[in-house]
A and B are shown apart, each in its own frame.
Chain A
């Protein structure tokens, strides 16, 4: 018979969460120094799914780099492709037909709703509720079916081209999108009653994991994480691009700074996205979807170009340094979750491990996107 292990009161141990832990939603490793159930220090370790996307951008022509952008964030891929094509179009001076821009806005917003729906399901599942995931996936399925009929793929779309779109949307898509909006609004009410009001859910999120606006600025956090901390920043409003100035929508901002605030921001954002889709379908002009004057092989003038877009996870930026060749001299991707994740280390000090995992869920991490 051996004596029970005696721990010194100041003794801590190291706990590895990941790289293959379901709560990290991918291959992220968090090295936690634990004092019992409390986290003393946490360190996130990246690099398990690094694929050198930036270097690939320097070796491939601009058109050949198109499929890469949808491999960053596989849940909201269209937003990232949008940033890329906008950057190239502005640099090369390509005029995009209005109809193409409207369809881009509609599809990006549909993709944002799909991304938030999946996040919603996975987040509630992190906290132990399984049924909402099933309901969310059922609604997301409608969006994926619509996008598949238009783009030909369900996740890695590769739909936008420099100067327009791969192909036009048909009446079926417009009909399906119109039918989808009221159904989604009904579902949002259902989610509100099922999840938002739930006492267990609220007790686990309210007042937990405060992230101050100060900290968001320090780490460069954007998107729903920053908006849950009272920072009113949305690239669609602050640096308008595409046809977003034509739409009437609000940016949901909450000042509670806790996990619940980040949850509420995303739920409200879905409603705002539906509003944008509704207006986009109404205003959708007729015309071509591809620019007429478009060079076959795109070469950018010598210079430095940057374009930021608001994706489902925050502000995504693409910087292209061109030396006049047919591929970029340097290509830099600023991915939102990379910044959003880094505040995790500081914010979770002294937190209970269960709260830290709920907090991680509320940051909406997609690992291949930050570790690109």
Chain B
């Protein structure tokens, strides 16, 4: 019988202790960020989908070596190249130039193997995360096109 009353006593006390904690919590500042009205700054190392980086003239640094294509576990990168004649010291030489850089983001697992394997610093992670869509085609990115678009944006803003 003694167990019964002590249970009621300790039980009631434990409930009061719990309630006092939730009550104190009630007056603490809110920590929730009201997305989409408020957004957080993405951290420096945030791994979004990859993007091509431009040099000073806005041209891509990619030399079409295909290291990223081979390193990718899911095979989501497709490269294309054309050979063009360029003049170096009065001689005409053939050079491979990037003509297509497609990323199939539906299959990407954001592991970063491509960025790590690039010896020329031609690709990096973007900070893009608002990518919701109901169409699959929206996730097939043409990165070369994207690079040109970003360049234009930068010129406009400058």
Question: Does B14 lie at the interface of the complex (its beta carbon under 8 Å from any beta carbon of A)?
Answer: yes
A-contacting residues, B110-149, CB 8 Å: 110-113, 116, 125
Interface of A is mostly: helix
Q: Is the CB of A150 within 8 A of B45?
A: yes
Question: Does A15 lie at the interface of the complex (its beta carbon under 8 Å from any beta carbon of B)?
Answer: no
- List of A residues within 8 angstroms of B80 by Cβ: none
Q: Is the CB of B45 within 8 A of A60?
A: no
> Which one of A60, A145, A194, A195 contacts B73 once the chains associate, using CB atoms below 8 Å?
A60
Output the residue of B47, B72, B116 with the most chain A CB within 10 A: B47
Question: Does B44 lie at the interface of the complex (its beta carbon under 8 Å from any beta carbon of A)?
Answer: yes
CA A199 to CA B16, docked complex, whole Å:
11
Q: Is the CB of B73 within 8 A of A64?
A: yes
CA A153 to CA B45, docked complex, whole Å:
8
Question: Does A148 lie at the interface of the complex (its beta carbon under 8 Å from any beta carbon of B)?
Answer: yes
Interface size class of A (residues with CB under 8 A): 20 to 34
Interface size on B, residues (CB 8 A): 27
> Which one of A68, A131, A166 contacts B112 once the chains associate, using CB atoms below 8 Å?
A166
Q: A148-B46, A199-B10 are in contact. Are A158 and B73 (CB under 8 A)?
A: no
CA A66 to CA B112, docked complex, whole Å:
10
> Which one of A63, A65, A71, A167 contacts B45 once the chains associate, using CB atoms below 8 Å?
A167
- List of A residues within 8 angstroms of B72 by Cβ: 64
Question: Does A190 lie at the interface of the complex (its beta carbon under 8 Å from any beta carbon of B)?
Answer: yes
Q: Is the CB of A197 within 8 A of B14?
A: yes
Q: Is the CB of A67 within 8 A of B17?
A: no
Task: Write the A54-85 contact mask toward B (1 if CB under 8 angstroms, else 0).
Answer: 00000010011111100100000000000000
Question: Does A135 lie at the interface of the complex (its beta carbon under 8 Å from any beta carbon of B)?
Answer: yes
> Which one of A63, A68, A158, A193 contacts B71 once the chains associate, using CB atoms below 8 Å?
A63
Q: Is the CB of A131 within 8 A of B17?
A: no
Question: Does A2 lie at the interface of the complex (its beta carbon under 8 Å from any beta carbon of B)?
Answer: no
- List of B residues within 8 angstroms of A152 by Cβ: 43, 45-47, 112, 125
Q: Is the CB of B45 within 8 A of A135?
A: no
- List of A residues within 8 angstroms of B73 by Cβ: 60, 64-68
Q: Is the CB of A135 within 8 A of B25?
A: yes
- List of B residues within 8 angstroms of A71 by Cβ: 109
Q: Is the CB of B110 within 8 A of A153?
A: yes
Q: Is the CB of B22 within 8 A of A194?
A: yes
- What is the distance, in angstroms, from B6's C-beta to the closest C-beta of chain A? 11
Q: Is the CB of B45 within 8 A of A151?
A: yes
Interface, chain A (partner B; CB < 8 A): 60, 63-68, 71, 131, 135, 138, 141, 145, 148-153, 156, 158, 166-167, 190, 193-195, 197-200
Contacts A63-B113, A152-B43, A152-B112 known; 4 new A-B pairs at CB < 8 A = A63-B71, A67-B110, A194-B22, A199-B14
